[in-house]
Amino acid sequence: MACDLQAVQLGLVHLLPLFPVDADYAVERDEYNKNVQSAFERIRDFQSAHYVLNRYGGDVLGACARLTPVSRDLLRRIGAFRARGDVVHYEDESFRSTTGRH
């Protein structure tokens, strides 16, 4: 549920400054789509990480989710975490770690 609300909020946050001001809105549309796609990919990776990294739980949803292909960005972030012990943060990050380190 938190991710659903986050997605709605991000959609609105990116829409307001790019709201079309005339009939030719191709530039605003393209920029909005690029921004929202990036934000939604981060949310997808956030959700996917729970299933990819969870070695426990034999539920059907978790088993199916672990079979889903993992994005290159998430694999890179997991590798960086394993190497550094810290979460890599992107500029348009939706979720922050609670360690206080960024």
Percent of the chain with pLDDT over 70: 84
pLDDT at 71: 93
Q: At 72, is the pLDDT very low, low, confident or very high (cuts 50, 70, 90)?
A: very high
Which amino acid is present at 94? S
What span, in angstroms and rounded, lies between the C-alpha atoms of 57 and 23? 52
- Asked if residue 92 belongs to a domain, the reply is no
- Asked if residue 98 belongs to a domain, the reply is no
Check the CA dihedral 74-76-77-81 and report its sign: positive
User: 13-17, 65-69, 78-82, 94-98: which has the minimum mean pLDDT?
Assistant: 94-98
- Asked if residue 12 belongs to a domain, the reply is yes
Q: Domain span at residue 70?
A: 2-84
- Asked if residue 28 belongs to a domain, the reply is yes
The count of domains in the chain is 1
- Asked if residue 77 belongs to a domain, the reply is yes
pLDDT at 92: 64
Q: Which residues contact 28 (CB under 8 A, 6 or more apart)?
A: 18, 19, 20, 21
Q: Give CA 34 to chain center in angstroms.
A: 13
